[in-house]
Amino acid sequence: MRAGVAVSGAGALVDGVRTALAVLDLRVTDGGGDIRVEHRPELEPEEYTLDVGAAGVRIGAAKRSGAFYAAQTLRQLLPADAYRSVPPAGVWTVPGVRIEDAPRHSWRGLHLDVARHFLPKREVLRQLDIMALHKLNTLHLHLVDDQGWRIESRAYPRLHEIGSHRPRTISSSYGEEPAYDEVPHGGHYTLADLAEIAAYARARAITVVPEIDVPGHASALLAAYPEYGPQPDRTHAVLDRWGVSPAILSPLPPTVDFLSVVLGEVGEALGAAPFIHIGGDECVLDDWAASAEITGYQRSLGLATLGDLHAWFLRRLADILAERGTRAVVWDEAFGNGELRQDTVVMPWRGAAIAREAAAAGHDVVMAPVFPLYFDYGESGSPEEPLAIGEAITLRNVAAFEVAPASWTAEERARVLGAQAQLWSERIPDARTLDYRAWPRGSVLAEINWSGTPSDLAGLPGHLRRLDALGVEYRPPAGPRPWQQGGIGRRRSRPGVIDVRAIMERLETMTRNSETYSAST
């Protein structure tokens, strides 16, 4: 195979192949050609066939996504140089194969927290390219948190004018005397940027799921519009430290109306938004309890507890989204008292027990447990590692993960849409650190998410050569390169800061009806 080969077939399917193999500069012909793409309507949307023989390459797919994935597989049959932006000149030989392939899970995701540390648009687009070659199909953008509001609002412009930046960021670690870098940090995406990101993702068979996290994690929002808090006269600031803040939105009707407008802006920018994540996690309800207006409103709705009001509030937002053709996604704290819409997707981060409860209750679930899918945790407790939020989640931990546990019933397993890795960014300040944390653990997650079975990691050495050619600054399995190490400065390793297994043991014992939550303490 060489650059400039000819491809023929159905228009949308050919477009998927050309996008996946853009570096080969494929020419479209009316018939014949080196690569022929056939419409196979009996196949599932992400399913494909790939035949390579003396007569050339034949791809079969029902939808553009299937053709796109077939081309990604074809690229994997080429030398690693096929992953360079400008491959070297020459002719490549493709081995003869017959492949029939389809993913086991429909949600194969990566979560980027752009609220704690902002990630410029160019880096989001770059991560989409890396996701695409792994056949990951869902980008979860965490756009809102105490430390920043990252999306333009034309209806409420103070959200991005005030909420998108902070004057400094905490630089000390847990248990240390607080210290700050005194460096301003900020940024946001315009609605046009979000539309561009979504279109770029769709071309690569990826769905963007934006998260507007409510009612907690609200410091940045309330810094801009304090009138939507339980105490409208209170002054708020965009948070410059990590951890769970008591800042929370009021659940009263004006707040619902406000959020309806904001969610509408985000949904419109995305075009057809199949999912919007509305958070629901780590809510401290003290300010609700202290408000006579809010507790009176709770009683007027016939709700027994503030926890019920929390569930009612999220249900109201999910109803609004459903009227627009969008399904709500929530973290697992929002599940527990039966108030969720049945079509709401639950993302359990506290472990398999609550994931199974949600699935048994008839909710679709996306597996997102701290262990082993929080990739902001370090891969070892070695003093050579750069500072992470905790330790340790290894490649083998990810490789052994059961996306749909065999111990569950068939009905419960059928409710598992898939899994996604979380990249919370308290300790991920830039794109180089993101590469280090995300890959190749993300590569292994992609493999088990697609196959539905654990990985033996046999194909990893060859895949790392592709990442090298692509320019991904991943963490080598043997440990960090000299320039990736923590050193002795601000990003030095603090072994034992947070033990991920101890965290999981504690989370598994938390009740679903707890009114305060913390992932980091």
Q: In the annotation, is 145 catalytic?
A: yes
Mapping DSSP to helix (H, G, I), strand (E, B) and coil, where does residue 450 land? helix
Q: Identify the DSSP state of 386.
A: P
H helix and E strand count, the chain: 18, 18
Mapping DSSP to helix (H, G, I), strand (E, B) and coil, where does residue 51 land? strand
Report how far residue 234's alpha carbon sits from residue 478's, in angstroms, rounded to the nearest whole number. 51
Whether 446 contacts 134, CB under 8 Å: yes
b/e map of 497-506 (b: 16 or more CB within 10 Å)? bbebeebbee
Q: In the annotation, is 30 catalytic?
A: no
Q: Which amino acid is at 209?
A: V
Report how far residue 75's alpha carbon sits from residue 73's, in angstroms, rounded to the nearest whole number. 5
Whether 50 contacts 21, CB under 8 Å: no
Give the β-pairing of 207-214 and 185-186. Answer: unpaired
Whether 108 contacts 418, CB under 8 Å: yes
Catalytic option among 15, 213, 282, 447: 282
Question: 473: which residues sit within 8 A by CB, 6+ positions away?
Answer: 432, 435, 436, 484
The pair of three-digit structure tokens given for residue 335, joined into one six-digit string = 């599940």
Residue 89's Cα: distance from chain center in Å? 37
- Angular region, 114: left φ>0, alpha ψ -120 to 50, beta rest: alpha
Catalytic option among 46, 47, 145, 146: 145
Catalytic option among 217, 277, 363, 463: 217
Give the β-pairing of 144-145 and 148-149. Answer: antiparallel
Q: In the annotation, is 430 catalytic?
A: no
Active-site residue set:
145, 217, 282
